[in-house]
Amino acid sequence: SQKIEQNSEALNIQEGKTATLTCNYTNYSPAYLQWYRQDPGRGPVFLLLIRENEKEKRKERLKVTFDTTLKQSLFHITASQPADSATYLCALPSRYALNFGKGTSLLVTP
């Protein structure tokens, strides 16, 4: 069966450091992968999409990599800020929908 795995343990880092979150998947051959941010009590918000033929995508302080051989995507936030504290979800396509990982909680402390 298809699986999307994200580190269930919360990631605690100090302000200014780079946060790196991992998304691993099995039994998928995705044409793309998406990352979302979810704040407590809110719906997820789209951050980035990376296609299978793209190795890396950047948007401001965010960088996503996509390795279809390793079946893995890495999500980096550089110069992290306390406002970056949230849960980050990766999502892979499944026909007409998206399947989501369980998310990784990031806490950035001053």
Partner 1 sequence: NAGVTQTPKFRVLKTGQSMTLLCAQDMNHEYMYWYRQDPGMGLRLIHYSVGEGTTAKGEVPDGYNVSRLKKQNFLLGLESAAPSQTSVYFCASRERLAGGPSTGELFFGEGSRLTVL
Stretch that binds partner 1, among 18-26, 30-38, 55-63, 77-85 (CB under 8 A): 30-38
Run of H or E residues at 102: none
Shortest distance in whole angstroms from residue 65 CB to partner 1: 18
Q: Is residue 37 near partner 1 by the rule CB under 8 A?
A: no
Q: Supply 62's token pair.
A: 């965010």
Residues with Cβ within 8 Å of 27's Cβ and at least 6 positions away in sequence, in order, are 1, 2, 3
- Beta strands 3-6 and 19-26 are antiparallel
Taking CB under 8 A as the criterion, the residue among 9, 27, 29, 95 binding partner 1 is 95
Shortest distance in whole angstroms from residue 97 CB to partner 1: 5
Distance CA 21, CA 13 (A): 12
Q: How many residues comprise the chain?
A: 110
Q: Is residue 41 near partner 1 by the rule CB under 8 A?
A: yes
Residue ranges binding partner 1 (CB under 8 A)? 8, 31-32, 34, 36, 41-46, 49, 51, 89, 91, 93, 95-103
